[in-house]
Amino acid sequence: MNTQNIPKKILYWYDNNKRSLPWRKKNTKKNHEYFTLVSEFMLQQTQVKTVIPYFKKFINKFPNLRALARANEHKVLKSWEGLGYYSRAINLKKTAAILLKDFDGRLPNEIEKLKTLPGIGEYTSRSILSIAHNQPYIPMDGNVERILKRVFLLKTKKQISKENLIKKKSFFSSTQRSSDYAQAIMEIGALICKPSSPICSSCPLINNCKAYKKKDFLIRTRNKLNKIKYFEAKVYKHKNKYLLVRNKKFNFLKNLVIFPMDEIEKKKFKLSFAKKINIKLSNMNMKIIINEEKKKKILKDSFLLDKSNINKFILPSFTKKIFYSLPNSQ
């Protein structure tokens, strides 16, 4: 397949059709790096349309890296409230402090250095390098995968494997406008090559797309099996107050406020007659039994929260789901 003109076609489409997003505004190099950092953290597990108002509010409160690094953690979490996955906010603040201390307030331009920062893995590091530093990386998100699957009409398990998709990514070739190019490809996936009802007539890759020629737009996805884990949440209630703890025990929702919990065996979960709820995290399905305890335990990092203040306090949606499953807690 001739890919010589692919970058030119994609960038022409992008220049004429890109969305006006707050983190794309023209800015100084330093502020561009900061806006990229904040937006990439927010966009982890969250759609663009959801992120936009939170990004604006966050930047208004913390306009630069120094303001974020020196901010009170409670204020950072309050600005993040409603966006979910609060560990992102905690890691973002930690990263800001490290960048100020060790990198003169700038984002490293090497992938291995970026990956040492809290909350930055393979995908986010590549996004930052391409968008903030104009390096020739094309992050492999769901939008990019979908374009490749349709362009090459990839259907079998082997064809849609991560390894094969990475090889097929060479289709996009390269350009000196690496920052715009990475965003352009993801933009086409989000706006044109949508999961259902793709707008092929507006796609710059229409003449290169096997799915369009065959009129076969069905996307096969890799089966992602999340771990199933079992927990017992212990609810200690005194009058209208509930005992909550700051989570130091589990890697998920680290340092956030949860009900006291223990991981349990599947057998105990199955045999229990207590109320049961299911909660899905990004990488885990949690099955939880909820036991109301009569005696209040003294636990480290714990406090009592009046249910009338439940919406005034910064709580992860995880904790709220358990809270609202309790009798008369609405």
* Residues acting as catalytic residues: 40
As a three-state string, the secondary structure of the chain is CCCCCHHHHHHHHHHHHCCCCHHHCCCCHHHHHHHHHHHHHHCCCCCHHHHHHHHHHHHHHCCCHHHHHCCCHHHHHHHHCCCCCCHHHHHHHHHHHHHHHHCCCCCCCCHHHHCCCCCCCHHHHHHHHHHHHCCCCCCCCHHHHHHHHHHCCCCCCCCCCHHHHHHHHHHHCCCCCHHHHHHHHHHHHHHCCCCCCCCHHHCCCHHHCHHHHHCCCCCCCCCCCCEEEEEEEEEEEECCEEEEEECCCCCCCCCCEECCEEEECHHHHHHCCCEEEEEEECCEEEEEEEEEECCCCCCCCEEEEEHHHCCCCCCCHHHHHHHHCCCCCC
